[in-house]
Each structure stands twice: as structure tokens, then as C-alpha cells.
Amino acid sequence: DAGVTQSPTHLIKTRGQQVTLRCSPKSGHDTVSWYQQALGQGPQFIFQYYEEEERQRGNFPDRFSGHQFPNYSSELNVNALLLGDSALYLCASTRGGSPLHFGNGTRLTVT
């Protein structure tokens, strides 16, 4: 039973570029959330997708957008990258009221 899988594992981008991160939820899960974890900090909630719609959003600018596909997988897009966007991006999935299951994350470095 595959858990939450994220790709790529690592990514290096230049300031001003755009990036897309991908997530496949755990089998049987239909809700996907994204979190940003800066070095030495706790994760911060970006947004959550359910039934292909953004249901909840944290305090992140519109440069952060997402999408959920009919197979429940999800993408996180970040436009106009800033140095401060360098972080570990974690995807989590759930179904109903079950606890979140997290992936290993994508380490994004913006230079």
C-alpha cells in the first residue's frame, strides 16, 4: 500500500521562475493538503483540495496556486519565485476525519 508520494525530491530554481510540485495521495484518500516548512521551523498550511476544489487556504499570496485532478493527485504551483520560497514542501492526504499522512516532501532551493 503506497503512502503519499511527492516529486521531484529536490529542485533548484532561479528567482522569478515558476515551479510545479506534484503529489499522489495515499491509496483511498481523496483530500490533499500542502504545507511549507522553512529550515528549522514547523510546517505552515498553504491550502487544501477536495473534489478538485480549493477548500481551505492559509496565509499565502496568490503566487501559490494548486490543482487537484480526478484521480485525487495534486499539483502545487509557485509563480515569481522569491528567495524566501526556499523550503521543504510537504503534501499530506486524508479521507474523512482520518489523521493526515505526509509524504517525504520536495526540497526547493531558490537562488
Partner 1 sequence: AQKVTQAQTEISVVEKEDVTLDCVYETRDTTYYLFWYKQPPSGELVFLIRRNSFDEQNEISGRYSWNFQKSTSSFNFTITASQVVDSAVYFCALSPWGAQKLVFGQGTRLTINP
Stretch that binds partner 1, among 16-24, 28-36, 64-72, 79-87 (CB under 8 A): 28-36
- Report the alpha-carbon distance of residue 110 to residue 35 in Å, rounded: 17
Shortest reach from residue 50's CB to partner 1, in Å: 9
Interaction between residue 104 and partner 1 (CB under 8 A) = yes
Residue that has been written with the C-alpha cell 521543504 in this structure? 88
Q: Of residues 7, 56, 109, 111, which one binds partner 1 by CB under 8 A?
A: 56
Stretch that binds partner 1, among 19-27, 38-46, 60-68, 72-80 (CB under 8 A): 38-46
Q: Of residues 23, 24, 33, 66, which one binds partner 1 by CB under 8 A?
A: 33
Of 45 and 73, which CB lies nearer to partner 1 in the complex structure? 45
Interaction between residue 102 and partner 1 (CB under 8 A) = yes
- Report the alpha-carbon distance of residue 53 to residue 61 in Å, rounded: 17
Spell out the residues 6+ positions from residue 46 whose beta carbon is closer than 8 angstroms to its own. 33, 34, 35, 36, 57, 58, 60, 64, 66, 76
